[in-house]
Structures are given as C-alpha cells and as structure tokens.
Amino acid sequence: MKNATAQALLSALEAAGFKGYFVGGCVRNALLGLPVTDLDIATNARPETVLELARSIGFKPVPTGIDHGTVTVVGKGEPLEVTTFRKDVETDGRHAVIAFADTLEVDAARRDFRMNAIYADARGVLHDPTGGLEDIQARRLVFVGRPEARIREDYLRIIRLYRFAAQLGFGACGIDAHAARAVRRLSYGLGHVSTERKTAELLKLLAVVCPMDVLKAMASDGVLARVLGLVDLPLLERYLGKEKDLLSPDAIARLTVLLMPSEALPLRLSKKDQRFAEQLRSAARDDSSLGELAYRHGKRLAMSVGAARAALLEADMTREDLALIAKGECAVFPVAAKDLAPHRGKALGMALARLERRWIESGFELGKGALLSGLSDEE
C-alpha cells in the first residue's frame, strides 16, 4: 500500500481502463503479519500495454518474461513483477503453455495454493475467489481446486507444500489432509522436476528456524526419500539442538548433516556451497582442530563441524572448543617470508609451513621470536 512505484503503476492502469491487483506472497504475508519483500501485480492489461504505461509515467519496463506475460517495472525502490492474467492451455508437470485471460477468477484458478490466490487492489480491498482468507485464518495450506490437478501441472508444488508449511510457521499440522494424500500418490512425479528447482525449494525449507516436524512429515509421506535418498533425521535433529545456541540457521550445513549416511549429494549446489559441504562432511568425522578450521576456513565451518561432531557423538561442544574457535578466527600468523631471508624457494615454503604448524599446535600462542628461535635451534 505504501510503495510509490506500485501505486503509480496501478493508478496508470486504472486511468487507462484496466484492472491491477497485488497478488501472491505480498498479500499472503501481509495478512499473516510476516515481512513483505517481492511485490507482484496481476492485471488484465496485455504486456505491451504494461510496457507503454510504465514508460509513460517515467518508469523503466524490462520484458523479463514477456512470452509468459511478465514485465519487470523499475521505478524507485524495489522492482515490480507485473503479469497479465493467465490460464494454462497445456502442462506436462514441468512447463506450461499459457494463454492470456481477462479476469482474476480465471487467473486464480491456475495458482497453486488458495492463500496465494488472494488479490488486493490499490486501496487494499481484497478479492478472494478461491477461499484463501479462510486458510489464512486457519493457518493451513490448501491447493486451489483439485490437489491432483494442481500437482500434475507442476510437480515441484509437492516440495513447495512442505516449504510453505515450514516457512509460514504452520508446521506439519498446517498441511491439508487432501493435499497430503495427493502428494503421497504423486510423489513419483518429482523425477520430472529439474535438480536446480528442487534444490532451491529444499534449501528454503532448510533455512527455516524450526523445520524438523515438516521434514518428518516429508519423510513419512515418502517425499524426502524421493528428493534426497538416504537421510539421517535423528542426526539432524540432534544437530539442530546444538546449532540453536551457536549458529544462525545454515541450510547448507543442515543439508550436509542430513545427508551424512549418503555417498553422494543429490542436489545441485554452487561451487562455493559444494566445497563447504565437502569440508564439513570430511571434518565432522575426523579429529582436526576446530581452532585450525576457524583459522583456515572461518568461524562458520568450524562451528558447523563442532556442532556436527557433537551431534554424532551425542555430546556437547565445550567452552574450550568455543574459545579455540574464537581464537583461531582472529589469529594472524606472526611470521612472514621476509623474516626467513636466508631461505629461498621450496626451502622457504617448508620452513614457513613448519613454523605455522608449530604455532597452530601451540593454540596460536607462540610469538614471532619464539618461532624463529625454534627454527634456528633446528638448523
């Protein structure tokens, strides 16, 4: 309601004889009292008209998904996603052939969940053609129309069901019984969904503060095994108990712990996240120093390894562990190559490595003088 770009665009649409509404997550979250980020607008204006109107009021329209009716409008502040009302002509479980529609009722019929099909005009008047307000009040997730039909249009909606249940704070009890039955019958369809899309949804779920009861429901419904294969939910639950007092929710660390029994990572991560997962997986099962991990790789990895080891051993991280991590994170090796002037090439590298190892094993306590003196004694 307070976004100047959105209000200006909605006014321009109305002045030209068209309808425009806020829709989707921004309306849902506002009604739930949750933070509102992305603003999506639905309209009966065709994309070419949206482009012209946006330019006419001094905004920059970008045809980001014009074949599917979406124009990104850039004004002041965050950009708006403006999409023409649509209906599905044909779907295959991954992609849809769409046609433009003229009414919000037709547009609402193709959306996933009823609470995502609530529309609000520029004045805040709500339009609820599918019963989403009832679901908001009951804190439950219900598919628009027949659950089986919505799932077959896009099998990723299976994971989105659980992700929203966790992310919106509904928990497993917020999943509609008809939806759950349909998911159990159709979970095989996740094999048609790209690994990238499944990864994005699952990481959003794992980033929630308390995802455990939803993950258990996913496992019970046979969905978790479809997505990840062999997992260790009790280990993750113990890890979360350690993590909550030490770390912010870390989806990659949680995923790595969940997949400890597995030989492979069945999702597609960035190279950075893949490297972190591999380091955590390896270090969680060895006896490398947490202080050294913090020194070489940072606090995030060291704390995640400490919490994972504690979960594996059903123990707790000690004050000494935490102190060593803190020290390692801030530690700066006091010796530089110039301090070893007589050494050159490979000999220089070996000398620096020996001194660094001695310094780490001292708990980062030895100073430059003591280290250099020790090196002289060796030589």
Domains belonging to the chain, first-starting first, are 1-138 (3.30.460.10), 141-228 (1.10.3090.10), 230-331 (no CATH), 337-378 (no CATH)
Percentage of the chain beyond pLDDT 70 is 97
- Which pLDDT score, from 0 to 100, does residue 85 have? 96
Crossing angle of helices 212-220/157-167, nearest 10°? 150
Q: CB atoms < 10 A from the CB of 68, how many? A: 14
* CA–CA–CA angle 89, 91, 97 (5° rounding): 45
Pairing of strands 70-74, 80-84: antiparallel
Inter-residue contact 280 to 256 (CB < 8 Å): yes
pLDDT, tens digit, for every residue of 127-147? 999 999 999 999 999 999 999
User: 62: helix, coil or strand?
Assistant: strand
How much is the pLDDT for 263? 78
pLDDT score for 117: 97
Question: Which tens digit of pLDDT belongs to each residue from 287-314?
Answer: 999 999 999 999 999 999 999 999 999 9
Instruction: Output the average pLDDT for the chain.
Output: 93
Predicted TM-score (pTM) of the model is 0.90
pLDDT of 127 reads 97
Tell me the backbone φ, ψ of residue 88, rounded to 5 degrees. -80, 130
- Predicted confidence at residue 232, as pLDDT, reads 97
Question: Closest Cα to residue 214, out of 161, 157, 171?
Answer: 171
The 10s digit of each residue's pLDDT in 174-195 is 999 999 999 999 999 999 999 9
Regions of the chain short of the pLDDT cut 70 = 92-96, 376-379
Q: Give the pLDDT confidence score for residue 45 in this predicted structure.
A: 96
Instruction: Name 98's bridge partners.
Output: 88
Spatial contact of 183 and 177, defined as CB atoms under 8 Å apart: no
| Digit-coded pLDDT (tens) for 267-285 | 999 999 999 999 999 999 9
Q: Provide the Cα torsion 104, 62, 59, 106; round to 10°.
A: 0
The partner residues of 90 in beta bridges, in order of sequence, read 97
